[in-house]
Every structure is written in structure tokens, then in C-alpha cells.
Amino acid sequence: MRVMVVGLGSMGMGAALSLVRAGHEVFGVDPRCEARAELRYAGARETGPRGLDFACRVEAVLILTVNAEQVESVLFGEAGIAGKLPAGTPVMISSTVSADDARRFGTDLEQAGHMMLDAPVSGGPAKAREGAMTVMAAGSEAAFDRLAPVLEAIAERVFRISDRIGDGAAVKVIHQLLAGVHIAAGAEAMALASRAGIPLETMYEVVTNAAGNSWMFENRMRHVVDGDYTPRSTVDIFVKDLGLVTDAGRALGFPLPLTSTAYTMFASASMAGYGRWDDSAVIKMFPGITLPGKNPEE
């Protein structure tokens, strides 16, 4: 298929590379020259800063931007692609957005003559580059069928949540509750270990071989032990995502005490200047501890 991938960040780049390997003609869209150059070198058909330049030539669109505002701009902004895509083009929105935003995009795309798959993803940059992401998708049978070659190229597992746009986004938001809380809890544990004088490498080895381990602890606290805060997923991403979780709980009248605490931790780390660091840098909000490593820009 001729597939436009919009957003060549850690997940979008992995998806685009997986599509290239699978033999698809990939059109990559990102404002960053270095990201476009990497994808061109890997074999993309074309790349550019605007999807509008390719919109009339593609058979499917995969959007992996940071937030709903960027999705809105890509589809319906001044240089939006919705009005230029061939009629009936399937659009797979894999950005983490609220269920309400997903439903709004679905309605607007339908009015523009296109179909949407509400399909957030998970797995991290390494899984994305392996074509082994997890997709939690909702949409019509027709959308699933049309996007089957894309899903096959980028995903190890595809969960078909329902036919209702918004349900995929809701599942992802709930998943992010767990992801954010696990990172925050891991950071708190490692901060306490530092304060107690326990070597962080020792603490990490014990936890990853005991019942307190989680995938997020094992992955993110390795960054803390190594003192490597090169951003894979940033602190500010979790400020945004846990904000979506909080909004969902508020809309449903449902208390989320752990989410609220985790959100405060990430927001505090962001305000302290760590917003664009790896999300494991939430540990930096704890005063009076000594940690390995240095600024990612150094």
C-alpha cells in the first residue's frame, strides 16, 4: 500500500520503518529534517514537512503525533489533509488522545468521506522498530479490513476492542494510568534506596528478580541506574497522558487517587526543568538524593 505516516517520533519512526521493511510505499511527514533523512535513507518513497504534499497519492494514513491538537492540525488545520485524501481513505489515529477527541475525529472524518480506526499503540521504541507493537483498536469492520496490511506490518498483537470509535482511546488512557503510576512508584522506590544508602544497581537487581518488579520498573529504572535520561518518552508526555486519565475520571465521577499523585510527581518534575528528559527523570523531583548521570544535552 501507499501509506502516509505522520509523526516520526520514537513510535512513528518505528512504524514507518516496519512498513518500509514490509514492502509498502511510505510517505513520511515530520517537521524535523533529521527524522525525514533517516526514513529516506531506510527506503521511504518520499518525505516532507507537510502531509498535504502527498495526500492525494496515498491509500492509507497512520497518525502518530504527540497529542490531539497535532492530530487536529494534521487533518483539519490550515494545511490539513482531510480535504485532499482520495474518497474513503482509511485513517488510523494512533496518537494518545481522549475518547471524546477520538469520537470527534471519527465524526469529522466521516463527514469528509473517510473512515477512521481508533488505534492507539504501546510497546516502546524498540518494539515499534521491530514491527511488534501492541495495538488497541476500535472501528468498523471495513476500517479493520482496509488497514489490515498496515496492522500486520507494525503490530505483534492487535486487540479489536469494539466497533465504537473512542473505545480504543479509552483503553489506552486506562493503560497509561498503569504505566505512569508504575514509573512514579519505581522512581519513589529508587529514590528511597538512594536515601538509605543502598547502591541503585543492587536495588535494581533485587527488584527485577523479585515480586515487586514490573515491565516499567525494569525498563525505566535501568535508565536511572545508568544515569541516562536521553528521552525515549518524556516527562511531559506523562504530564499530558495522566492529565487525560484525570479528565476521564472526572467526567465519569470516578476517584483516581494514585493517578492524581503520579500526575503531581510528573508535573513537579516538568516544572523543575525536566519536562523534555526521559520520563524516568520523574525521580529528579525528590530532593536530598544523589543519582548517577548528567543532563542529556551534555
pLDDT at 297: 58
| Residue 273: count of CB within 10 angstroms of its CB | 12
Domains, in order of start, for the chain: 2-164 (3.40.50.720), 170-285 (1.10.1040.10)
pLDDT at 82: 97
Annotated catalytic residues are 172
The set of residues, in sequence order, having a beta carbon less than 8 Å from that of 26 and lying 6+ positions away, is 3, 4, 5, 16, 19, 20, 39, 43, 44, 45
pLDDT at 296: 64
**224 with 283: CB under 8 angstroms?**
yes
Longest dimension (CA), the chain: 63
pTM: predicted TM-score of the whole model, two decimal places: 0.93
d(CA 106, CA 126): 29
| Residue 245: count of CB within 10 angstroms of its CB | 26
pLDDT at 166: 98
d(CA 197, CA 191): 10
pLDDT at 293: 84
3-state secondary structure of 182: helix
96-150 pLDDT per residue, tens = 999 999 999 999 999 999 999 999 999 999 999 999 999 999 999 999 999 999 9
Per-residue pLDDT of the chain (298 residues; tens, 9 = 90+): 999 999 999 999 999 999 999 999 999 999 999 999 999 999 999 999 999 999 999 999 999 999 999 999 999 999 999 999 999 999 999 999 999 999 999 999 999 999 999 999 999 999 999 999 999 999 999 999 999 999 999 999 999 999 999 999 999 999 999 999 999 999 999 999 999 999 999 999 999 999 999 999 999 999 999 999 999 999 999 999 999 999 999 999 999 999 999 999 999 999 999 999 999 999 999 999 999 986 665 5
